[in-house]
């Protein structure tokens, strides 16, 4: 078996890249030299995109916190996969991004050198947490808008939504400390109010979608009318 990608020198990486550019398949490189073919393919791709800088290795703690957050949000919002993000941002291993995602969704802040507890966001009651999650679900999992609307962090809304899907409103009870379970239970009136808010949020979301659809249909009609008039004027 070959070494991990970060253990190879730039000179060695360039050697294997040269073999591939000369026509040797990555699988053949693996058979002959013991280097993972997927690793060789990544080197070739990074070298093509970024030159020799794409082959340089940076320690996990050396990545700027802003970059870590950007990558994590890009993954959580469904825009890309771990391997594609590795290629795009020159991250040596998918496990690195996985760790960042796990740290962030566990309520921890990504920093340049270390991980510390998030101080952003705010304290919430169970009633607020359920309301926020229901709004997110009603609005097609729009975490970013929920952050701004309710002044909470991405890690909070992501974690609450995951818990809610697994265990319903009871999963959002704050069980830290004594006596909080009893005081944090939802009453029947609160449950009814939450259901009304959930339905209102869904109606507002669908109304917006319908308004956009109607506008598109109107534009299509105008476009069709314009084309018809143009054809008739040419006759």
Q: pLDDT band at 103, cuts 50/70/90?
A: confident
CA distances from 164 to 94, 98, 123, 134, 147 (A): 28, 22, 17, 9, 17
Three-state SS for 158-211 is HHHHHHHHHHCHHHHCCCCCCCHHHHCCCCHHHHHHHHHHHHHHHHHHHHHHHH
Cβ atoms within 10 Å, residue 43: 23
Q: Is residue 170 part of a domain?
A: yes
The residue assigned the tokens 């703690």 is: 61
Same structural domain, 199 and 140? yes
Total structural domains in the chain? 3
Same structural domain, 130 and 197? yes
Residues 207-214 have a mean pLDDT of 66
Q: Is residue 224 part of a domain?
A: no
Of 117, 136, 163, the residue at which a domain comes to its end is 117
Cβ atoms within 10 Å, residue 60: 15
Q: Is residue 235 part of a domain?
A: no
Q: pLDDT band at 5, cuts 50/70/90?
A: very low
Same structural domain, 76 and 36? no
Cβ(108)–Cβ(155) below 8 Å: yes
Same structural domain, 165 and 193? yes
Q: Is residue 195 part of a domain?
A: yes
Q: Is residue 228 part of a domain?
A: no
Q: Which domain holds residue 85?
A: 60-117
Q: Is the pLDDT of residue 63 over 90?
A: no
Q: Is residue 151 part of a domain?
A: yes
Residues 52-80 have a mean pLDDT of 75
Same structural domain, 42 and 100? no
Same structural domain, 68 and 28? no
pTM: 0.43
Q: Is residue 231 part of a domain?
A: no
Same structural domain, 147 and 191? yes
Q: Is residue 227 part of a domain?
A: no
Same structural domain, 152 and 187? yes
Q: pLDDT band at 157, cuts 50/70/90?
A: confident
Q: Is the pLDDT of residue 134 over 80?
A: yes
Q: Is the pLDDT of residue 178 over 50?
A: no
pLDDT for 19: 93
Same structural domain, 154 and 167? yes
Q: pLDDT band at 47, cuts 50/70/90?
A: confident
Same structural domain, 15 and 33? yes
């Amino acid at each position: 078996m070959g070494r991990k990608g970060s253990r190879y020198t730039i000179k060695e990486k360039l050697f294997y890249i040269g073999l591939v550019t000369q026509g040797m398949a990555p699988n053949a490189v693996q058979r002959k030299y013991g280097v993972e073919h997927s690793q060789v393919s990544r080197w070739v791709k990074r070298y093509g995109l970024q030159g020799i800088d794409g082959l340089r290795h940076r320690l996990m703690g050396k990545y700027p916190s802003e970059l870590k957050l950007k990558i994590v949000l890009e993954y959580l919002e469904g825009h890309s996969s771990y391997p594609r993000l590795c290629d795009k941002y020159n991250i040596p291993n998918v496990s690195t991004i996985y760790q960042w995602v796990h740290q962030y969704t566990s309520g921890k802040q990504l920093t340049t050198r270390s991980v510390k507890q998030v101080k952003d966001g705010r304290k919430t009651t169970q009633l607020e947490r359920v309301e926020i999650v229901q709004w997110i679900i009603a609005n097609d999992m729009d975490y970013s808008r929920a952050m701004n609307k309710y002044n909470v962090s991405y890690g909070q809304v992501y974690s609450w939504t995951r818990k809610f899907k697994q265990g319903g409103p009871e999963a959002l009870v704050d069980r830290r400390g004594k006596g909080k379970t009893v005081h944090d239970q939802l009453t029947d009136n609160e449950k009814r109010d939450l259901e009304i808010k959930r339905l209102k949020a869904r109606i507002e979301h669908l109304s917006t979608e319908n308004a956009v659809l109607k506008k598109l249909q109107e534009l299509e009609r105008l476009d069709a009318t314009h084309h018809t008039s143009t054809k008739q004027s040419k006759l």
